Structure 1
C-alpha cells in the first residue's frame, strides 16, 4: 500500500502553527501542543495500521517554514512484519532558515523475516537546529525472536545549503553479518543513534553533560562523536527499548536546555 503524509509549518506572531497537512490512510496527524502560546508546535504522527506490512510504501514530506519550531512525536513502536519482498519508507525534510526540528521516533521492532528499507533526506538552509533519532531492536525478544529478520537498511543524508554534510548508513543483515561479533552488536540487543546539529550554538559544549548522564546508566555502552559540521552524533547499545528511548529524549533535553525548543517525552511504552 502506498501512503502519503505531508506536513507544512509556518510562524505567526512568534508561534509555530500547522499551515497545511495532507495524509492518506493509515496516517493521521494530531496536534498535542499543551501550551499554545509557548512557541514550538508538537505534532503526533499516528498510524491506524498495526505496523509496516509486505509491499508498504510510505512517503513522508515535512516542510518547516522560516524560524518555525516543530517537535514531531510518534504514537507507538514501529512493528515490521514478516515479508517476502519487503517494504520501504522515504522521508524528505526541508528546514528553511532558522527552523528547528526534533524527531525521536519510537523503536523499530522487526519480526521474523522482516525486510525493510528507509531513506531519509534532510535539507537545511542555514541557522537550523536538528535533533534526529533512530532506534532498532533485535525483534520480539520475549517471543524468542532475536535477529531473525532478513534486513534493516536505513540511510540518512543531511544537506546543508545544498551540499551533503552527513550520511549515516545503517545496515543490519543478521543472516550475512555476525551481529554478535566484535565491532557489531557484541551481545547487545538494542541500538540507538541521535544526530544533533545546532548552528545557533556550539553543541560540542554539551559533550560533558551528555557523557556524565550516559555514564550513570546501567547495562549500556555508548560513544559520542563530533560531526564535520556543528554537531555531534551519539550511539548507544543496550538491552531495553524503553531505557534507550528515554536516553535519547533526555539527551535531546540536555542539548536544547538553553534554547526555545524543549524536548518532551510523550509517555512510557514498554516492550
Structure 2
C-alpha cells in the first residue's frame, strides 16, 4: 500500500483461531487508526472501531478502508463517531473508498455512523465488497445534511454513493446514487419527498427470502416512526433497505430494528448495543 495517496487508510485481516477471531495482519497510516480487539457483549464477538484522528474530512482528502475476513471469522467493524465533511470550494471532492472481502463461512457486521455533509461539501463514497455464497454481510451507513447558518436544507454541493457487491465473483448489487442539490430540487416527489436525511441497510446471505422481507415490513410499520422507507429483495442472496427521515435517530432506530432481527435469525445473536460517547 502507498500511504502517499491517502490522508488516512487502514487494512486489517482477521482470522479464526480456536473460538476467537483475531487480527492476523494490520496496517494504518495518516489520519486513521483501528482499535485493538474489543469484546462488547457476552458472545465476545471481536469488535473494531475505526478511529479518525482529525476533526473531519476536508477538501481533496482521500481515505481508504480495507477489511478482509478469512474462513469462518466473525467480526464487527464500526466507526467511533459521525464523519464530518467540510466545504469544498476549489472543485476537489472528498473521497472515501472501502474494500471488503469475506471468505466462506465468515460473518461481518460493518456499521457506519452518519456522514454529515456541511455547506458546499462534495463527497464521493465507493464500496467494493466480495463475498462467497456462504458468507454473511450486514452493512449500514447514513447521510445527514449538516447545519447551515441560514437553516436551509441540502446546502452540500453534491454526493455520490457507489456500492458494488459480488458473490462468488458475480455482481449481485450495483447501487450508484447521485445527489446534486445545487443543480436540481431534491426535496420533491421521487427524491427526498420532504425529508433531508437517509440511511441504508444491506444484508447479503443466502437465507434471505420474501418471507423475511415481509416480516421486516411489519416490524418497521409497528415502530410508528415519521419515516419513509423502501425495502427490496435482490434477485438472490439479500436485500437493501433505505430509510428517509428528518431525524437521524429515527433512521438509526429503523435500521437497528431490522439489523437486530436479522442477526438473531441468521447467527442466533441477541440485540447489538454499541455505546459511543
Q: What TM-score do you get using the length of structure 2 for normalisation? A: 0.90
Unmatched segments (≥5 aa) in structure 2: 1-5
- 1:124 deviation in Å? 0.8
1:10 aligns with 2:15: yes
For residues 120-167 of structure 1, the C-alpha deviation after alignment (integer angstroms, 9 at most, x for no partner) is 000112301111112111222686242011111010000111121101
RMSD: 1.9
The reply on whether 1:50 has 2:55 as its aligned counterpart is yes
Secondary structure of 1:254's counterpart equals helix
| Residue 2 of structure 1: how far off its partner (Å) | 2.7
Structure 2 partner of 1:229: 236
Determine if contact 2:103/2:131 at 8 Å carries over to the other structure. yes
The yes-or-no answer on 1:113 pairing with 2:143 is no
Shift of 1:203: 4.5
Instruction: Please identify, of 211-220 and 2-11, the stretch whose mean Cα deviation from structure 2 is larger.
Output: 211-220
- Where does 1:132-151 land on structure 2 (aligned, <5 Å)? 132-140=139-147, 144-151=151-158
Partner of 2:3: none
Q: Aligned residue for 1:210? A: 216
Partners of 2:48 and 2:76 within 8 A in 1: yes
**Counterpart contact for 1:87–1:116, Cα < 8 Å:** yes
TM-score (norm 1): 0.92
- CA 1:177–1:34: 2 relative to 1, 3 Å: same
| Cα distance per residue 1:67-100 (max 9 Å; x no partner) | 1111111111111100121211111111011111
Question: Is the Cα–Cα contact under 8 Å of residues 47 and 77 in structure 2 kept in the other structure?
Answer: yes
Specify the alignment match of 1:124 in structure 2: 131
Q: Extract unaligned runs of 5+ from structure 1.
A: none
Paired residues, number: 267
Distance in structure 2 (CA, Å) of the matches to 1:268 and 1:125? 32
Q: What's 2:78 paired with?
A: 73
Spell out the pairing of 1:1-271 with structure 2 (5 A cutoff). Answer: 2-30=7-35, 31-35=37-41, 38=43, 40-83=45-88, 84=90, 85-140=92-147, 144-199=151-206, 201-215=207-221, 216-258=223-265, 259-260=267-268, 264-267=272-275
- How far residue 224 of structure 1 moved from its aligned partner, in angstroms, is 1.4
